[in-house]
Structure formats: structure tokens, C-alpha cells
Amino acid sequence: MGTNKRERQKQNRAKAREQRIRQQKVATVRRRGLIFGIGIPVLVVALFGVAQIGGSGSSTSSDTSFDAVVTTAPGTTQPGATLTGATTCPKADGTEKHVAQFKQAPPMCIDTAKTYTATFDTTEGVIDVTLDTKRTPKTTNNFVVLSRYKYYDGTPIFRTDPSIDIIQGGGPNNTSGPGYTIDDEGGKFTYTEGDLVMARSSGANSGGAQFFFSTGENTALLDSQGTYVTFGHVSNDASLKVLKAIIALHKADDSGLGGAPSRTVTINSVIITES
């Protein structure tokens, strides 16, 4: 009897310790969110990179821990055209010219009855993602249009943060994202390893182009917020292995956003296939 009691006490202490550790992680993420919130108005320029919050979101609500993931400037400038009028649906054959700036959000260009796959060719390997046309058709459509306009080609993965197991990219220059924002959709989300998620500012409907991948279980620390729109998931184990290889390159810095890869990680291209 005494042995069983001691064993239960030991198990209770272990559970209490695990709970304290988890609470400490949540507190760390929230503090980082507060730091990011302070810099949002300035950083908003880059959409969802290392220090800015993507889109035109000017809200600086400090209770969201993922602000840093949403908008940050990778610090590079990619050449590209500017669409000054209405955004038209891009060709699906890969022949569109590179566009780096848009005046208007795109119309609905995808067929939600079809299946869309995004293939990220990166300097660390290939990542295949099945996009969600059912729960998040508008977000998927936005990503497909940007990809077919080669918006992401030549852009960096500019942030890594093991505390929430994310790698972030999708910011090709130091302007305020693609030139527009899109509405949130799909309701409240929980986050699992392999998810592809839109970054945004602390304000609602402030996403544009920047995104992050979940590379592990710590991204679930964002579940209490659930405001970042998940619009895809990796298609195979090989793709997940590439995500883990990228976050393994993490090098901490004093940006307040966790850090960045220890060597340049570039998205060479994002190719969209449909079936």
C-alpha cells in the first residue's frame, strides 16, 4: 500500500512539473508576442517575416504571441513587376512573369472541386504540400495566385523559432507585403506538425503573403489563439524531414523573434499542380 502511495505521489509530482514547464513555454511565447507587438507599426512593411507583421495591419494588440511570425522583413529585395490595375488570374502553365507588388487582391481563380499541390523547391530540399480548398478556399486561392505569379521565387526562409517550432518565409522585399490583405477564414485552428499557415499581424484580416510551417509539437502553444489560418499540410514524410532539417539550422539572435537559419535557405520556386 505504501509503495503504491509513493508511486502516485511521484507521478503527481511529474505531472505538476510538466505543467509548470508548459506554462513557462506559453509565458515565453506571450512575452515574445508583446515584444513583437511594440514593433508592428514599423515592421508591418514586410508582411510576415522576422520582425514585422504582414499586411497593412496597424493594430498593436499585445495579447497575441504570434505577431512576430506574421510580419517580418527578410532584408532582401527581389526584382519584379508591379500590377497597377486589377489582379487577373495567372496562367497555370508557369509562363507568367514575376510580379512583386499588386494593387488589388486576386479574384477567385481556383476550382475548389480540384486538388491543388504546392511544391516548394528549396536549397535544403523539396517540400510538397496539399492545399485545403474546402475549409480555406480563399486563402488557398491567394497562395496559388501569388505562386503562379512567381511572387515567392528566390525568397528566403528568414525566421526559425524552436520555442514554437516554426520556420517562416514568404516576404520577398521590404515593402508591406504584396500590396493588399486578405480576410481570415475557417474559424479557430489548432496546429500540428507539418501544417502550412498564413502569418498575419495581431489585427484580424491582416494576412497577405507571408507564411510559416509547423515543424513540431511546440506550435500547439498557439492553439489558445487559433487565429492563424492553416491552409495546407505536407504531403509526405520526406517533406516533413526537410522542414525539420531547416529548423535544425536555427541560430538564435537578438531580434526578439527567435532567430534565423545559420546559412541562407532560399525558396527557389513554388510550383502549383492541380488535378
Is the model more confident about 23 or about 35? 23
pLDDT at 245 over 50: yes
Alpha helices in 44-99 (DSSP H): 67-70
Cell triple for residue 233? Answer: 499540410
The 10s digit of each residue's pLDDT in 42-81 is: 232 222 332 332 333 323 222 223 333 444 444 444 578 8
For residue 63, give the amino acid letter: D
Cα 173 to Cα 76: distance, rounded to the nearest angstrom: 5
Give dist(CA 101, CA 172) in Å, integer. Answer: 10
Beta bridge partners of 251: 260
Residue 131, helix vs strand vs coil: strand
Q: Are 199 and 54 in contact (CB under 8 A)?
A: yes
pLDDT, tens only, 84-141: 999 999 999 999 999 999 999 999 999 999 999 999 999 999 999 999 999 999 999 9
pLDDT band at 143 (very low <50, low <70, confident <90, very high): very high
Give the chain's domains with CATH numbers: 31-274 (2.40.100.10)
Tell me the pLDDT band of 1, cut-offs 50, 70 and 90: low
Tell me which of 15 and 263 has the higher pLDDT. 263
246-272 residue pLDDT tens: 999 999 998 878 899 999 999 999 999
Neighbours of 196 (CB within 10 A): 25
